[in-house]
Chain A
Amino acid sequence: MLAYIARRLLMVVPVLVGISVVVFLMVHLIPGDPVQVMLGERATDEEIARLRQELGLNDPIYVQYARFLGRVAHGDLGRSLRSNSRVVDEIAARFPVTIELAVASILIATVFGLLAGCVAAVHQHSLFDYFTMVLALVGVSMPVFWIGLMLVILFGRHLGWFPIAGVVADGIELARVTNFPLLDSLLSGNVAALRSVLSHLVLPSITLATIPVAIIARMTRSTMLNVLRQDYIRTAKAKGLAHRRVVYKHALKNALVPVVTVVGLQFGSLLGGAVLTETVFARPGIGRLVVTAIFARDYPMVQGVVLVGALTFVFTNLAVDVLYALLNPKIRYA
């Protein structure tokens, strides 16, 4: 098992190099003079020359790349051009908010996706099967920001069940220790804050879960259908095992491998794809950060977020691979 993990870790190295090159080149691939773009319509020639010097853009490109790698290795992603704050600090303040949302969404998506997929597979061609699959199709095709707005209008504005936007209600003090709102409210033992944070999490996590829940449900259904037709399932049934046991122990475990892949991939993309949900629900996460940075042409910030996002994606996939090996010994020994 360890050898397998080590092998997977080694394979990550070239990916990391690739990411660093792409992130580094981002500034250099902008059409026109990046400095002119950064400084905007009021820049003087003097300011342009000074910023070029400051960013080291006058040095040969390999020198610049080496310097960039050196800085990143020390955890220094530079300072934002827009606000002068440290990129690392900004990311550290926002990323937990996004992670919490993504985790909540993927939990919802996995639970409901697996459940719906299994039931649909077991009762293939039933009304439930058709209904969930149509619903899944709708879920995948619906734009996230639209679903978000509809949920806000229905549950926030008309029914008033959930708050419209934000992370915690105004007037509730939330101690910020880890920057994970849920964790912070738990740690501080503040029940009012915990309730507020949870209720603020409901609509955005449902919104963000719509696409993955649909994908997971469809994936589970098709792999389950495949597995349920296998000989060993028939054997298990023939042995007289309970239907429930056959489905949830024998079939589901084997059907899980492709589903885990999808869950892993979806989780990775949720971390980066929360932009619209964060915008609609006014959650101060990493997606919002990168959008603001892009509009402000704040390149160090964009580079930082892309780097962190890519690393998260890579390591999520690594974790998924390890999970495979646990689920299916065949993969470990391959």
Chain B
Amino acid sequence: MMRRVLIAALVLVCLVVFPATSFGAKAGGTLVYGRGADSDALDPHMTTSGESAVVIVNVFEGLVKYKEDSTEVEPCLATSWKTSADGLVWTFTLRKGVKFHDGTPFSAQAVVFDLDRQLNKENPYYLEGKFPYVKFTFGMIDKYEAVDDYTVRITLKSKFAPFLKNLAMFAAAIPSPEAVKKYGADIFKHPVGTGPFKFVEWIPDDTITLVANEGYWGGRPHLDKVVYKVIPDNAVRLMKLEKGELDVTEGINPNDLGRIKANKDLVLLEKPGMNVGYLAMHCQKPPFTDKRVRQALNYAVNKEEICKYLMNDQAVPATGVVPPSLWGYDPAQKGYPYDPKKAKQLLAEAGFPNGFKTTLRAYTAPRAYNPVGDRLATAIQSYFKEVGVDAKIETLEWGTYLAEGRAGKHEMALFGWMGDNGDPDNFLYVLLGSDNFGSGNRAFYKNDEVDELLKEAQQTYDEKERLDLYIKAQRIIVDDAPWVFLNHTKQLAATRKDVKGFALHPTSNRFFYSVWLDR
């Protein structure tokens, strides 16, 4: 009996003394993270770059954060929150005893200062045109006030359920007001947050160094130091990983995947990203006004083949709009399997037994959601040819391509989307709501029922009800087939075998708090 009590007491002591230490985790060491490109700005509000976000999320925190393996949200600098009956007023209770890395306390005033800096043009620290994400993250905010030192009240212009997800984005993280005052427009070089790691040094195009925040409210991280190292060439970066000069690398040549898998010192990680690649069919222009034509073209394209061979297994076929890594994905949705016979039959029913002629617009350079650039258009063209549809490829310069896409000058055009906040609204409403004709909705798709479902989902705070609405909307959308649903590209990373706790987050953020080195 005595022994059991002793053990229990010991366990309790351990839990109190090492709250952050996951079982068996070793503390200490430097993790060197290799990547192809540098960050552009290290202020959460002054960038949209993923390479900046991977640093920002380890230095800064927001009111809420994503769970470690999904885009669901959990408390962070706010311990709890509630909404008013009309859903407009959000009241956040803040964590006490949190300090920024410069030693100043985190409080409701800091939250209000940060919002004001971005939203109030009269604020002395407002920077015109330098907050690329603010309209997206905080555009729906009407008022903000500090009720007391640890309570913040934010009033929205209208009910908006994805707001909470926005608060978990790196772009909503909160910097130290004193640092903002001290550095002014150069704050992007001097990140000061509340996160598990403190910023030390940034040598442009070379390294960014962070050290453990000993006073982190959640307990000190395992690692002593994180170094982000820019090595532009994928092959050279991999060699450095093999030699043990790097611990993690991202950006891998498809040809090297086998080499990584064969190396017992390395671990290959892969996960579908928060993106979608698609071929938009202009739903207001014949023959694409006919649903059967759009469906036929979906059946005509062999997505599996494209993902496996053309994209070298760097992508998974899309069955709908929302990628599988996201809350709101519909696993029951099977999409359109490759079935040229069915395609021909549908075309015949729509009055095109011999197919038709059309144009297919494409851009040349690879993009995050399309690793093969205009070769994708060529592949689609040949699939279309098999069912009698003669699509002429038009390649435009990127600037013109975007401008004409917004203006709806295309019949069919390749596009894609990288998600922002991990909410299905950020895919469905932005890309297929009729409010967003041109700007996001490049298929010029309009379905009143879908519009209504998406609006309703924006205003529904119950997550389960919301999920139902999105699933329902997606089923209609997939049946309407305004796009040829193509692919979701995968995130790929390789680590040394002794790197533990490193995970690919759906948002492509990389969190080093729970990472440790088994050395």
On A, residues with C-beta under 8 Å from B are: 30-34, 36-37, 40-42, 44, 47, 50-51, 54, 80, 82-85, 90, 93-94, 145, 149, 152-153, 156-157, 160, 164-167, 170-171, 176, 279-282, 284-285, 288-289, 292, 296
Given contacts A84-B127, A157-B243, 16 further A-B contacts (CB under 8 A): A32-B399, A36-B402, A36-B403, A37-B398, A50-B128, A82-B40, A156-B243, A164-B245, A165-B233, A166-B206, A279-B232, A284-B230, A288-B205, A289-B205, A292-B205, A296-B40
Known contacts A85-B188, A279-B232: does B32 contact A165 (CB below 8 Å)? Answer: no
Contacts of A51 in B (CB 8 A): 129
B231 at the binding interface (Cβ < 8 Å): yes
Contact residue among A36, A84, A171 (Cβ-Cβ distance under 8 Å from B46): A84
Contacts of B38 in A (CB 8 A): 292
B420 (CB) vs chain A CBs: closest residue: A42
Query: Contact at A281–B236, with CB atoms within 8 Å?
Result: yes
B180 at the binding interface (Cβ < 8 Å): no
Known contacts A156-B239, A289-B205: does B399 contact A30 (CB below 8 Å)? Answer: yes
Known contacts A83-B188, A282-B231, A284-B205: does B236 contact A40 (CB below 8 Å)? Answer: no
B242 (CB) vs chain A CBs: closest residue: A157
Contacts of A30 in B (CB 8 A): 399
What is the CA–CA distance of A205 and B171 in the complex, to the nearest angstrom?
A: 41
Query: Contact at B239–A166, with CB atoms within 8 Å?
Result: no
Known contacts A50-B129, A83-B188: does B239 contact A164 (CB below 8 Å)? Answer: yes
B185 at the binding interface (Cβ < 8 Å): yes
Q: B172-203 vs A: 1/0 string, CB under 8 Å?
A: 00000000000001101100000000000001
B235 at the binding interface (Cβ < 8 Å): yes
A90 (CB) vs chain B CBs: closest residue: B204
What is the CA–CA distance of A56 and B37 in the complex, to the nearest angstrom?
A: 31
Q: B471 to nearest A CB, angstroms?
A: 27
What is the CA–CA distance of A156 and B245 in the complex, to the nearest angstrom?
A: 12
What is the CA–CA distance of A31 and B397 in the complex, to the nearest angstrom?
A: 8
B508 at the binding interface (Cβ < 8 Å): no
Contacts of B400 in A (CB 8 A): 31-32
B26 at the binding interface (Cβ < 8 Å): no
Contacts of A80 in B (CB 8 A): 40
B341 at the binding interface (Cβ < 8 Å): no
B46 (CB) vs chain A CBs: closest residue: A84
What is the CA–CA distance of A274 and B432 in the complex, to the nearest angstrom?
A: 45
B186 (CB) vs chain A CBs: closest residue: A85
Known contacts A83-B41, A152-B239, A166-B206: does B227 contact A33 (CB below 8 Å)? Answer: no
Contact residue among B40, B185, B230, B402 (Cβ-Cβ distance under 8 Å from A40): B402
Contacts of A149 in B (CB 8 A): 233, 235-236
Q: A151 to nearest B CB, angstroms?
A: 11
B151 at the binding interface (Cβ < 8 Å): no
Known contacts A44-B439, A94-B204, A165-B231: does B399 contact A153 (CB below 8 Å)? Answer: no
What is the CA–CA distance of A47 and B139 in the complex, to the nearest angstrom?
A: 14
B130 at the binding interface (Cβ < 8 Å): yes
B82 at the binding interface (Cβ < 8 Å): no
Query: Contact at A166–B229, with CB atoms within 8 Å?
Result: yes
Contacts of B236 in A (CB 8 A): 149, 152, 164-165, 280-282
A168 (CB) vs chain B CBs: closest residue: B206
Q: B328-362 vs A: 1/0 string, CB under 8 Å?
A: 00000000000000000000000000000000000
B135 at the binding interface (Cβ < 8 Å): yes
What is the CA–CA distance of A180 and B423 in the complex, to the nearest angstrom?
A: 47
Q: A133 to nearest B CB, angstroms?
A: 31
Query: Contact at A84–B41, with CB atoms within 8 Å?
Result: yes
8 closest A-B pairs by beta carbon, nearest first, are A284-B205, A37-B399, A32-B399, A32-B400, A282-B231, A83-B40, A284-B206, A279-B232
Query: Contact at B205–A84, with CB atoms within 8 Å?
Result: no
Question: Residue among B135, B188, B203, B399 with the most chain A CB within 10 A?
Answer: B399
Query: Contact at A93–B204, with CB atoms within 8 Å?
Result: yes
Contact residue among B47, B128, B189, B239 (Cβ-Cβ distance under 8 Å from A153): B239
Contacts of B41 in A (CB 8 A): 82-85
What is the CA–CA distance of A30 and B399 in the complex, to the nearest angstrom?
A: 9
Query: Contact at A170–B399, with CB atoms within 8 Å?
Result: no
Query: Contact at B205–A94, with CB atoms within 8 Å?
Result: yes
Contact residue among A40, A42, A167 (Cβ-Cβ distance under 8 Å from B206): A167
B472 at the binding interface (Cβ < 8 Å): no
Contacts of A36 in B (CB 8 A): 399, 402-403
What are 7 residue pairs bridging A and B, where the CB atoms are less than 8 Å apart in the complex? Answer: A85-B41, A164-B243, A279-B232, A280-B233, A282-B231, A288-B205, A296-B40
A86 (CB) vs chain B CBs: closest residue: B186
B240 at the binding interface (Cβ < 8 Å): yes
CB contact list, B48-65 vs A, under 8 A: 48-49
Q: A261 to nearest B CB, angstroms?
A: 33
Contacts of B40 in A (CB 8 A): 80, 82-83, 296
B209 (CB) vs chain A CBs: closest residue: A170
Q: B226 to nearest A CB, angstroms?
A: 12
What is the CA–CA distance of A170 and B230 in the complex, to the nearest angstrom?
A: 12
Contacts of B37 in A (CB 8 A): 292
Contacts of A292 in B (CB 8 A): 37-38, 205
Query: Contact at A282–B245, with CB atoms within 8 Å?
Result: no
What is the CA–CA distance of A90 and B206 in the complex, to the nearest angstrom?
A: 13
Contacts of B47 in A (CB 8 A): 83
Contacts of B189 in A (CB 8 A): 85
Q: B14 to nearest A CB, angstroms?
A: 32
B231 (CB) vs chain A CBs: closest residue: A282
A153 (CB) vs chain B CBs: closest residue: B239
Q: A84 to nearest B CB, angstroms?
A: 6
Query: Contact at B204–A41, with CB atoms within 8 Å?
Result: no
Contacts of B232 in A (CB 8 A): 279-280, 282, 288
A93 (CB) vs chain B CBs: closest residue: B204
Query: Contact at A84–B185, with CB atoms within 8 Å?
Result: yes
CB contact list, B27-52 vs A, under 8 A: 30, 32, 37-38, 40-41, 46-49
What is the CA–CA distance of A157 and B263 in the complex, to the nearest angstrom?
A: 15
Question: Residue among A42, A93, A160 with the most chain B CB within 10 A?
Answer: A42
Q: B242-258 vs A: 1/0 string, CB under 8 Å?
A: 11010000000000000
Known contacts A82-B40, A84-B41: does B227 contact A170 (CB below 8 Å)? Answer: yes
Query: Contact at B205–A32, with CB atoms within 8 Å?
Result: no
Q: A184 to nearest B CB, angstroms?
A: 12
Contacts of B127 in A (CB 8 A): 84
A298 (CB) vs chain B CBs: closest residue: B40
Contacts of A153 in B (CB 8 A): 239
Contact residue among A41, A83, A165, A296 (Cβ-Cβ distance under 8 Å from B240): A165
Contacts of B205 in A (CB 8 A): 94, 284-285, 288-289, 292
B189 (CB) vs chain A CBs: closest residue: A85
What is the CA–CA distance of A270 and B203 in the complex, to the nearest angstrom?
A: 23
A41 (CB) vs chain B CBs: closest residue: B402
Q: B28 to nearest A CB, angstroms?
A: 15
B187 (CB) vs chain A CBs: closest residue: A84
Query: Contact at A164–B240, with CB atoms within 8 Å?
Result: yes
Contacts of B242 in A (CB 8 A): 157
Q: A109 to nearest B CB, angstroms?
A: 23
Contacts of A83 in B (CB 8 A): 40-41, 47, 188
What is the CA–CA distance of A285 and B205 in the complex, to the nearest angstrom?
A: 8
Q: B114 to nearest A CB, angstroms?
A: 18
Contacts of A157 in B (CB 8 A): 239, 242-243
Contacts of B231 in A (CB 8 A): 165-166, 282
